[in-house]
């Protein structure tokens, strides 16, 4: 069963949407302004956030930007009466994953929700594990407030691992993500991971990059493998 949050100041529309989603076995929390919506997302786990663009107290774009800035990767479906390209581009820049222009068909809404719920947002701006922070927008990496410089390949490897954290990423997936259909020689990944570990772990007391025997690699705080 999907669990979504609807942030919408039109109470009639909200009542209609919530009622229809219940018929589709989708539970739906509700907030009538941006500030309450932001608080609910921070306190709860949702599969998707339905976010109106024009909201009192804090507009939809600002809610979206704040969530992405904190590393929240919940998929966001923006609801708006605006159908201009500039408005859509502004929404994607703020971190929304999809748009639905009012008035919309409720059946289409359900299809969009299921499509978004099957993944995490690719619009996330900050990736974190412990005191390690990767800012994708500014292309900066810090640990314990110390700036870390990485090669482009090491950056790609770390980004892939952080997006999956704390789950394990296989050697094959890392190679495919970074080198695509032109894989390097067998030692290249090992060498790049060595330098990545040296950059993000060697100067610090706790290791974040772990080799999981027979499975792959993971970025996580827990030392137990």
| Tens-place pLDDT, residues 15-68 | 999 999 999 999 999 999 999 999 999 899 899 999 999 999 999 999 998 888
pLDDT of amino acid 126: 82
Backbone angles phi, psi at 37, to 5 degrees: -60, -45
pLDDT bracket for residue 105 (50, 70, 90)? very high
Cα torsion angle, 113, 115, 119, 124, sign: negative
Residue 122: band (very low, low, confident or very high) from pLDDT cuts 50, 70, 90: low
CATH superfamily label, 2-117? Response regulator (3.40.50.2300)
Please state, in angstroms and rounded to a whole number, the distance separating the CA atoms of residues 181 and 64: 35
Quote the CA–CA distance of 32 and 7 in Å, as a whole number. 6
Task: Decide which of 1 and 195 is more confident.
Answer: 195
**Is the CA virtual torsion 83, 84, 87, 93 positive or negative?**
positive
Q: How many CB atoms lie within 10 A of CB 74?
A: 22
CA atoms 70, 74, 75, 76: torsion sign: negative
Q: CA 184, 164, 64: angle at the middle one, nearest 5?
A: 120
Q: What is the CATH number of domain 126-219?
A: 1.10.10.10
Q: Are 7 and 49 in contact (CB under 8 A)?
A: yes
Average pLDDT of the residues of the chain: 88
Identify the pLDDT of residue 225: 43
Which has more pLDDT, 87 or 132?
132
Asked if the model's pLDDT at residue 97 lies above 90, the reply is no
Enumerate the domain spans of the chain: 2-117, 126-219
pLDDT tens, position by position, 177-218: 888 777 777 688 889 999 999 999 999 999 999 999 999 999
Among 71, 80, 74, which Cα is nearest to 100's? 80
Tell me the C-alpha distance between 56 and 34, whole Å: 6
pLDDT digits (tens, 9 = 90+) for 158-186: 988 998 888 899 998 888 888 877 777 76
DSSP class of residue 41 equals: H
pTM for the whole structure: 0.59
Name the CA dihedral angle for 69, 70, 74, 79, rounded to a multiple of 10 degrees: -40
What does each C-alpha distance from 26 to 2, 3, 32, 65 come to in angstroms? 5, 6, 19, 26
């Amino acid at each position: 069963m999907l669990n979504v949050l609807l942030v919408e100041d039109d109470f009639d529309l909200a009542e209609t949407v919530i009622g229809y989603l219940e018929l589709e076995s989708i539970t739906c929390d509700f907030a009538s302004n941006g500030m309450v919506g932001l608080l609910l997302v921070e306190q709860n786990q949702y599969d998707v956030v339905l976010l109106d663009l024009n909201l009192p107290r804090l507009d939809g774009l600002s809610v979206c930007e704040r969530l992405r800035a904190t590393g929240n990767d919940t998929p966001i479906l923006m609801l708006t009466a605006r159908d201009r390209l500039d408005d859509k581009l502004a929404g994607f820049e703020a971190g929304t994953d999809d748009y639905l222009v009012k008035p919309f068909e409720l059946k289409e809404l359900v299809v969009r929700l299921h499509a978004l719920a099957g993944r995490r947002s690719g619009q996330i701006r900050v990736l974190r594990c412990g005191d390690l922070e990767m800012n994708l927008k500014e292309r900066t990496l810090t640990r314990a407030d110390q700036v870390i410089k990485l090669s482009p390949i090491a950056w790609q490897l770390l980004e892939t691992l952080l997006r999956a954290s704390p789950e394990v990423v296989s050697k094959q997936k890392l190679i495919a993500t970074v080198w695509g259909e032109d894989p390097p020689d067998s030692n290249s990944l090992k060498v790049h991971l060595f330098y990545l570990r040296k950059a993000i772990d060697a100067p610090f007391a706790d290791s974040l990059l772990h080799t999981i025997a027979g499975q792959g690699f993971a970025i996580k705080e827990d030392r137990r493998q």
